[in-house]
C-alpha cells in the first residue's frame, strides 16, 4: 500500500533531509515521490511524500514531531477512496459527469449520496444506484433548511461535500462544520464576475475568455482558496446563452480536476490560498 505524508511548518534548513533520512534509515521505507515548496513571503515550508512499506503509524508520527519544528502540521494517510456527498439544485451537467466517473471507477471517491433542494435530478441519480435526498427549501427558513441538510449530510459522515452547481448560499454556521472540506464549482474565472449571472456580466463586458473556478468554500462568498481554474476563448458573436453553454463544459472539467487533486491529497490550504503538488 502507498501512503501519503503531508507536512507544513515554518521553514528552516535541513527539513527535507530530516524527513527522508527518518523514513529510510529508521523505517526502511521506499520513497516513491517527493515534492517541496517554500512560501517565501512567510518563510513557510510544504512537503508531500509518497512512500510504501510497513511501519508503526503512531511511532512514526512521534518521531516526525521530534525532528520537525514545534508548530508543524502533519497529515499521514493511506491512498484510498474518500467518502463524499454531492449537493445539487437543478443543473445536471456537473452531477452527471461525476456520477459517470464514479460508475466507471475514474473518481477516487465513494459517492455516498446526492442531496438537493429540488427533485429534478432524482431520476438521473437513481440510474447510478446512489441515494437521493430531496430536502425542499420552500416554506421554511434558511436556518431550518440548513439544519435538515446538515442532519442528512452528517448521517453519511463524508470526508468532503461537493457543490455540483448547488445554487444556494451557505451560511457561516453551515460552512463551519466542514472547514476546507466543501468544494464548489463557480461558473466564472474568479475573482471576476462573482455572484449570480456571471455569463450575463461577461457578455455585457465583452470578455474574450470565459472560465470556471473550483474552490474551497469559506465564510466569504466565492472567495475561498482556489483549487483549479480553466478558460476557453469566446468572441463578440457569442450571446450570453452561448457563453453559458460553452461554460458548462469548462465547469465539468475544472470540478473533476479539483476533486482529483483534493482526493489524492495534493492540496495544502495556507491562509486563503492553496499550495498544489501536481
- State the catalytic residues: 222
| Residue 275 DSSP symbol | E
For residues 114 and 132, is the Cβ–Cβ distance under 8 A?
yes
Using CB atoms within 10 Å of the CB of residue 115, give its burial: 0 to 12 exposed, 13 to 18 middle, 19+ buried.
Answer: buried
DSSP code per residue over 103-172? HTT-SSEEEEEEEESSSTTHHHHHTTT--EEE---TTS-HHHHHHHHHHHHHHH--SEEEESS--SPPPH
Reported as half-sphere exposure (CB side, CA atoms, 13 A), residue 250 has a value of 23
Task: Kindly state the cell numbers that stand for 119.
Answer: 427533485
- Strand, helix or coil at 50? strand
Displacement of CA 22 from its chain's centroid (Å):
31
How many CB atoms within 10 Å of residue 220?
Answer: 11
CA distances from 65 to 9, 30, 40, 60 (A): 11, 20, 23, 9
Gap between the Cα atoms of 78 and 188, Å rounded: 34
Asked if the peptide bond before residue 123 counts as cis, ω within 30 degrees of 0, the response is no
Alpha-helical segments (H) within the chain: 15-21, 57-67, 93-103, 122-126, 142-156, 172-176, 198-205, 240-263
Amino acid at each position: 500500500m502507498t501512503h501519503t505524508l503531508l507536512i507544513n511548518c515554518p521553514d528552516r534548513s535541513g527539513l527535507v533531509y530530516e524527513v527522508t533520512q527518518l523514513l529510510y534509515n529508521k523505517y526502511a521505507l521506499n520513497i516513491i515521490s517527493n515534492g517541496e515548496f517554500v512560501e517565501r513571503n512567510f518563510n513557510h515550508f510544504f512537503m508531500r511524500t509518497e512512500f510504501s512499506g510497513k511501519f508503526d503509524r503512531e511511532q512514526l508520527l512521534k518521531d516526525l514531531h521530534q525532528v520537525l519544528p514545534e508548530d508543524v502540521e502533519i497529515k499521514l494517510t493511506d491512498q484510498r477512496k474518500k467518502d463524499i456527498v454531492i449537493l445539487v439544485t437543478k443543473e445536471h451537467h456537473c452531477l452527471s459527469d461525476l456520477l459517470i466517473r464514479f460508475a466507471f471507477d475514474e473518481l477516487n471517491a465513494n459517492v455516498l449520496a446526492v442531496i438537493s433542494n429540488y427533485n429534478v435530478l432524482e431520476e438521473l441519480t437513481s440510474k447510478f444506484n446512489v441515494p437521493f435526498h430531496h430536502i425542499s427549501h420552500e416554506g421554511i427558513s434558511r436556518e431550518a433548511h440548513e439544519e435538515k441538510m446538515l442532519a442528512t449530510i452528517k448521517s453519511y459522515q463524508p470526508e468532503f461535500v461537493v457543490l455540483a452547481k448547488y445554487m444556494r448560499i451557505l451560511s457561516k454556521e453551515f460552512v463551519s462544520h466542514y472547514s476546507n472540506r466543501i468544494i464548489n464549482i463557480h461558473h466564472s474565472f474568479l475573482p471576476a464576475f462573482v455572484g449570480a449571472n456571471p455569463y450575463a456580466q461577461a457578455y455585457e463586458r465583452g470578455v474574450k475568455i470565459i472560465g470556471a473556478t473550483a474552490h474551497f468554500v469559506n465564510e466569504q462568498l466565492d472567495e475561498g482558496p482556489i483549487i483549479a481554474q480553466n478558460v476557453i476563448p469566446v468572441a463578440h458573436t457569442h450571446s450570453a446563452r452561448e457563453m453559458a453553454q460553452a461554460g458548462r463544459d469548462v465547469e465539468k472539467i475544472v470540478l473533476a480536476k479539483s476533486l482529483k487533486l483534493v482526493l489524492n491529497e495534493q492540496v495544502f490550504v495556507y491562509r486563503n490560498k492553496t499550495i498544489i503538488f501536481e
